[in-house]
A and B are shown apart, each in its own frame.
Chain A
Amino acid sequence: MASLLRSLFLLLIVQSFLVAIAFGSNEVEEFSEALLLKPLPDRKVLAHFHFENRAPPSNSHGRHHHLFPKAISQLVQKFRVKEMELSFTQGRWNHEHWGGFDPLSSMNAKPVGVELWAVFDVPLSQVDTSWKNLTHALSGLFCASINFLESSTSYAAPTWGFGPNSDKLRYGSLPREAVCTENLTPWLKLLPCRDKDGISALMNRPSVYRGFYHSQRLHLSTVESGQEGLGSGIVLEQTLTVVLQPETTSVESNMQPSWSLNSLFGRKVVGRCVLAKSSNVYLQLEGLLGHELKNMDTKIEAHNLWKNADFELSLKPDRVLRESSSFLFVFDIDKSSDSEPFDLGLTWKLPSKWSCQQAPLHASRFLMGSGNERGAIAILLKATESQEKLSGRDLTNGQCTIKANIFQIFPWYIKVYYHTLQIFVDQQQKTDSEVLKKINVSPSTDKVSSGMMEMMLELPCEVKSVAISIEYDKGFLHIDEYPPDANQGFDIPSALISFPNHHASLDFQEELNKSPLLSSFKEKSLVRSYTEVLLVPLTTPDFSMPYNVITITCTIFALYFGSLLNVLRRRIGEEERFLKSQGKKTGGLKQLLSRITAKIRGRPIEEQSSSESPAAQSSVLSSKLIFKIILVAGAAAAWQYFSTDK
């Protein structure tokens, strides 16, 4: 009885303890999932998957986890990562049609290949080692060759041009990395439901990789708890952005294609991930209806909005939110089940057209010059139409200006001459002091570090185009340093153009339900765009060259040595006499041969005029001849042997 009581008591204590843990300070790991769908003006559809996993501040990070991926937490603990972003991208973001001035594009339009940046929480001297270890760990985790970022020639430490201002920031990108399903699978492994359940079940590999653009991103940041003796919390944000082309059946060319989730992905959502705190699907419609419905009472009309003259949704949205220029339909997928899957569809009834908000300047980059010796890189910034509408102007000294940061990494074999930097504004060359507000250059060191250029331009608002050109020499690589298939050329990573005075944000005035996706949209994000990757052909040697050089020079040296030595030890007079006396002598074999040849020629045998002592000299000569013949025969036999038995 006593023991029973005791155990009961213990149970009570333990339970109260548990309750305290569970509800005391709201310290549980949270996971939420969301999908944003957005028809694009060029008849494509953007799907943006957003997963957020939060681990509260705790001391047991890396050791005990419930929802948060243990591997990521261990990485954060081991390498003291403060903030990190890793993206795998294939395809190029179309800034003109897919938007350049909204949070979605500024955060998810990434350069081709792999991009990784990380801020560490270690002393400055250990940042580089942490970075190297992190790249190796990530390359193992994501089945990618991120470890190529380990070498100091492939990463840089941006100071202010990249975004977060920190001296413990490292940035690197691999433009040539091919991104495919082997990178997506480990990325999905970090989600509690993987692609078994919930929104992520839509990720049908063939349809995802058939798209025009896909970018999977992993962003993690630590949140300081502020409490003494308590570790920091981790927020892991995983997004997958896909641009897909819906299959059209309508003949009309100006009609937007109708689609449904099933037609886009080949799958349907059959239920939410039970572990997610919230799982929503959003449909964002931009611009087009704004002017039509402006004067209507949104409260009433919002509910009827999903079925109107222009388009029709297959499901009734749970809520409708509106921003200045776009509508957001919110769907909860709680209600869906196996029998009644969630399959959102959009059917257009009338042709419609709209445009996206654009960044103030559209950037492109190209190479100039020809040949394998030198060239020039040019970055062209062109004003977009929407520039006038933008609010991010900086009215200093009564002048309207646009600020643009350019951040560019040059591999060391692109030897950039920074003094050749030329800036043309509206086809007129400007001196540096006129437009260049700030510049930071770290030159490259051969085979040690890559070069980096950060510059801040201050341009007048009415600028039409800006061209920046810089000349470079192509360096020579050591023969070991060439990658396989060196003739393909070498990639120069994308340059990043960001506009520090322009911030994109979408505020849907939604206080009811704090969705992580919407709150991330709400945050002001820097408008940025990446340029194209450049392919620079370098001189590639014949890789057997060293051996050819060695053999040729060695042969020449050997010839030189041999002849020198011969000259040194030669007795010319003696040899001449010897030859003279030799000329008279003929061997027995030679005699025989001459007889034979004479017979062949039909000539009488020439009498040996000087046959004083043929027997004495014949042996020497005949043996020499035999030796010669044997040598020739041996060489021929060897040649034959090696030429046939290969």
Chain B
Amino acid sequence: MIQLLFLVLFVEGAIAFLLLVKIGPLRELVMKSLDQLKLGKGPATVKTIAGTMSVILLSNLMNIIKIQNKGAKLGTMSPMDQVLWRTHLLEASLMGVVLFFGFIIDRTHHYLEKLITLRSNVGSSKGELEQLRKERTELKEKEEKTSKEIKQLKEKLSCVSENLKKAEKESKEKETKLETAEAHVTALQKQSSELLLEYDRLLEDNQNLQSQILIEDCIFYIAGTDKIDARESSSKCCGICNSRKTPMEETSDRLNPGITPEFDPKTMRSTKPGLKRLFITTSVLFSFLLGVPFLWKSVEIYRSPLPFHDIDSLSDQIKSTPLRFPCNFHAVFVGFQSTDAETLRSQIQDGINQLTHQNSQCGSCDFSLSVTVQNRDDQCSESLAHSATTCSYRCGVIKRNDFGVGVDDTVDESLNHVFSGCSEESGKMYSVVVVNKENANGGDEVKAVVGKRRHAWIVGNGLEERYGDMVARVSEIFVKVFMNGGREEDSIQGEFMPVGSDGRIVLSFSLLNSNPRDWVYDWDFQRIDEALLAPVTKALAPIANISVESQVLYHTPKSSFSSWDKKLHSYVFRTSDLPFFVNSNEWHLDTSAGASGRSKILQFVVYIPSGKECPLLLQLPNGEISKTNGFISPMWGGVIVWNPGNCDKDSESPSRNTISPQDLEQIVEIFLGQFRQLFGFKSEAIYTSGLGTYKILPSERGFTEWELDVLSRKHTCFNLHSCSTTLGSLSRLVRSLPRMIIKDEIGEQVKYSLKAAKLAQSNASLGGYSSSASSSREARSLAENAFFHPSIMSVSYFSYEHCFAVYSPFFLPVAGHVVLAALREWKRYKQEKAKYLTWLTRKKTA
């Protein structure tokens, strides 16, 4: 900008200099060029430029004032403002000087021009003076000549007078002859005056006839102008007419009194306006408009139609109505004499409702309760649920004596046998058997056991007397154990289900030798995998596809410190150290990401301390030593510190040992506890509540059947929830980016995911636990696949801004032209038509 201004300034300076100083023919050249500039549209252009510049100058001045005001307000000007101020000042001064120079040039040019004309005027007047002088001298010469001639002429005159005398004599003779001739002439004059009168009358007639013919011609001429502009011709014609009218006024008025009404060319036209141009412009406009859809189609990107409505309805449904599974609860009271089944049922129902607080948490039970009371004589009274299950308890099958001394496992088996006839079409059936045993020697002891399958039993003396207590316990077993899996509500939420989005869990076991120079331990994990872990993975198969892998790592010190405890003769680390125990720098636990994909990897680490801190124990906050010597980290896995039996290291060479199978089994037991904890269950086999303790029979598969039921309920719930949120965010994303390419695969995946979610919901309402779990898993993994599809991940989509930037340089100017032309033609057509119509009405009225 400044450079440009400088350039202009220099050019202007040069021009001004050339104007002021005469260097050869340069001034003439500049004058000529300025003359040229002042011709035609030059002044307008220059004025426009000057106007623009003055506006910029004004804005610059405004800016300067603004900056100054700002500076005055703050006291000091910031360096940035100073720079800006100076720039503006420079620009403003430059522009001012440029404008001033322009003005100066203009004036100089003007006065120079005047000067030149004046000079030329002076020159011409001088010439005239000289000419006049010349003429005077010439005239003097002529005078002399003429005086000479006068003398000669005087001499001639005397001669001529003599001649004249002679001629007088002759004339007297001729006068007499003339008198006779005059008499003849008067007679002839009389005759000619009569003839002249006759001729005048004929001439007047002729003129009248001629003017009549001319007016008629004029009218025909106006009517005939179609192609040639009417106004011009008519004005021409009327000019003629008017010019002719003055002498012929009375004749024309008399001849055609009403044929030509006042024709105003500004408001009227006598011909129909043409349609050609309007047609052309509108056709161009319409072809453009027709082209717009084609353009739209050609720049369209492929977007697979996503079922937005279904996605929204799914998420709404999941939010508003939490998924509930049908469960059948059956309570059997054995040995109760005077208790009514109906009242028991209503009481238990009340107890259950109280415990669930009516809150319909997702994955809870939609229960139906039935109660059977069997008295001592094995006679039953039943109160069945409304939706009576197909299996009913056959009266008298349960004998009170079965619950005597027998091992709990056998009781569990026998109960399973009793209820084995149940079909599981409409949900699982859970049963609690309360046995009132009248044993003389027995104290008040009440034994409550929850079995491996879906049964629990309470055995005790004199239970009928404490029957209110029994009702409370039965409902507690139903709600706290069977429904919620014996876990605390706040411990681990259902959202932390450690299952990968593809429905897989990888259990990665690592044996860490923190310092192999002291000792090297190895394990035979393959055998453990086959013998102990395979049943667990099989049991959890409906929830997750579990794979197991193991490795041994070396040189892996922990990153927290431990302290020597004299009392325990061991090194101790505390729970406060746990966040720093896992050393992610040195523990390369990772499995190959290419192999595991999106599955959840749970790390289980067996840490063997180095010789320097050999018996390494975990101290709990209450000062006790942890029995398991391990801890879990939710969603990551667990760590077990395993101390070698003999901490004395033989300094010779590192011993290579294998962890004995017994130790390994112990480790696996701890791991199973940790695994249960990661899923939110308790690792102990006892459930304690305010009413008493319940013994929980542990399953060799790690999870009992009712626990698996709880897991699949929660898992279904979690999967559906995660599926709906994933699909919801996908739909939000897709809707917020309207130019993003969405491939067919994504659409298909979303469709199938919704289908699977629907299937899971319907299965859940029917009570198919494992089928709903697996289909919900599928729904979630499909939703995740759709969301993380590689084509979505790429950022390079064709945005609207891009589209606009590419097409607007063409379409904006062209569209402006086309639309304006069509509008103008339309306006003009309307105007002209109005003119024509006024003409027509005028004609009609006239």
Contact = CB atoms under 8 A, between A and B. Distances in A.
Interface in A548-574: 550-551, 553-555, 557-559, 561-562, 565-566, 568-569, 571, 573-574
B229 A573 contact: yes
A66 B522 contact: yes
A75 B229 contact: no
Contacts of B812: 558
A555 B594 contact: no
B52 interface: yes
Contacts of A78: 592, 594-595
- The size class of the interface chain B forms with chain A is 35 or more
A65 interface: yes
Contacts of B63: 644
Contacts of B588: 189
A579 interface: no
B813 A551 contact: no
Interface string A12-55: 00110110011000000000000000000000000000000000
A133 B594 contact: yes
Contacts of B555: 193-194, 196-197
A577 B814 contact: no
A562 B594 contact: no
Contacts of A561: 813-814, 817-818
Interface in B258-285: 277, 280-281, 284
Contact of A18 (B231, B524, B593): B524
Interface in B48-69: 48, 51-52, 55-56, 59-60, 63
A74 B591 contact: yes
A569 B555 CA distance: 89
Nearest to B810: A554
A441 to B, nearest CB: 34
B593 A140 contact: yes
B552 interface: yes
Contacts of B806: 547, 550
Contacts of B338: none
A568 B280 contact: yes
Given A75-B592, A632-B52, A63 B548 contact: yes
Contacts of B649: none
B592 A192 contact: no
A350 interface: no
Given A555-B809, A568-B277, A568-B280, A193 B825 contact: no
A11 B821 contact: no
Interface stretch (B138-146, B156-164, B487-495, B525-533): B525-533
A573 B59 CA distance: 43
B658 interface: yes
Contacts of A577: 229, 231-232
A192 B554 contact: yes
B526 A274 contact: no
B277 A637 contact: no
B464 to A, nearest CB: 40
A66 B136 CA distance: 141
A632 B809 contact: no
Contacts of B277: 568-569, 571
Contact of A65 (B229, B281, B517, B552): B552
Which of A21, A547, A640 has the largest number of chain B CB atoms within 10 A? Answer: A640
B550 interface: yes
B204 interface: no
Contacts of B825: 569
Contacts of B810: 553-554, 557-558
A121 B522 CA distance: 32
Contact of A64 (B52, B529, B595, B654): B529
B551 interface: yes
A78 to B, nearest CB: 5
A14 B661 contact: yes
Contacts of B654: 274
B538 interface: no
Given A65-B551, A275-B516, A632 B280 contact: no
A15 B664 CA distance: 13
Contact of A636 (B52, B110, B526, B658): B52
A70 interface: yes
A554 B548 CA distance: 64
Interface in B623-654: 653-654
A60 interface: yes
B813 A558 contact: yes
B805 interface: yes
Contacts of B529: 63-64
Contacts of A15: 661
B168 interface: no
Contacts of A566: 817, 821
Q: Indicate the size class of the contact surface on chain A.
A: 35 or more
B332 interface: no
A76 to B, nearest CB: 10
A535 to B, nearest CB: 28
A11 B661 CA distance: 8
A593 to B, nearest CB: 10
A601 interface: yes
B662 A274 contact: no
A143 interface: no
B316 interface: no
A65 B595 contact: no
Given A66-B522, A140-B594, A633-B55, A18 B658 contact: yes
A60 B661 contact: no
Contact of A77 (B517, B595, B805): B595
A568 B593 CA distance: 69
B549 interface: yes
Nearest to B511: A66
A418 B51 CA distance: 68
Interface in A60-84: 60, 62-67, 70-72, 74-75, 77-79
A271 interface: yes
Interface in A229-268: none
Interface string A604-646: 0000000000000000000000001100110111011001100
A25 B594 CA distance: 32
B549 A63 contact: yes
Contacts of B130: none
Nearest to B653: A274
Nearest to A68: B551
A374 interface: no
Contacts of B553: 192
B801 interface: no
Q: Which of A79, A137, A553, A569 neighbours the largest number of chain B CB atoms within 10 Å of its CB?
A: A569
Contacts of B52: 632, 635-636
A577 B228 CA distance: 13
Q: Which of B52, B60, B547, B552 lies at the interface centre, i.e. has the most chain A CB atoms within 10 A of its CB?
A: B552
Nearest to A134: B594
B145 to A, nearest CB: 51
B728 to A, nearest CB: 30
Nearest to B281: A569
Interface string B501-520: 00000000000000011001
Interface of A: 11, 14-15, 17-18, 21-22, 60, 62-67, 70-72, 74-75, 77-79, 133-134, 136-137, 140-141, 189, 192-194, 196-197, 271, 274-275, 547, 550-551, 553-555, 557-559, 561-562, 565-566, 568-569, 571, 573-574, 577, 601, 628-629, 632-633, 635-637, 639-640, 643-644
26 contacts: A14-B661, A17-B527, A22-B658, A63-B547, A64-B526, A71-B590, A74-B594, A74-B596, A137-B595, A140-B594, A189-B588, A192-B554, A193-B516, A271-B517, A275-B520, A550-B809, A551-B809, A558-B810, A558-B812, A558-B814, A561-B817, A565-B821, A628-B48, A632-B48, A632-B52, A644-B63
Across the A-B interface, the 6 shortest Cβ-Cβ residue pairs: A137-B594, A554-B810, A558-B813, A554-B809, A74-B595, A196-B555
Given A274-B517, A633-B55, 11 more contacts: A64-B549, A74-B596, A197-B516, A553-B810, A554-B809, A557-B814, A561-B813, A561-B817, A565-B817, A566-B821, A639-B56
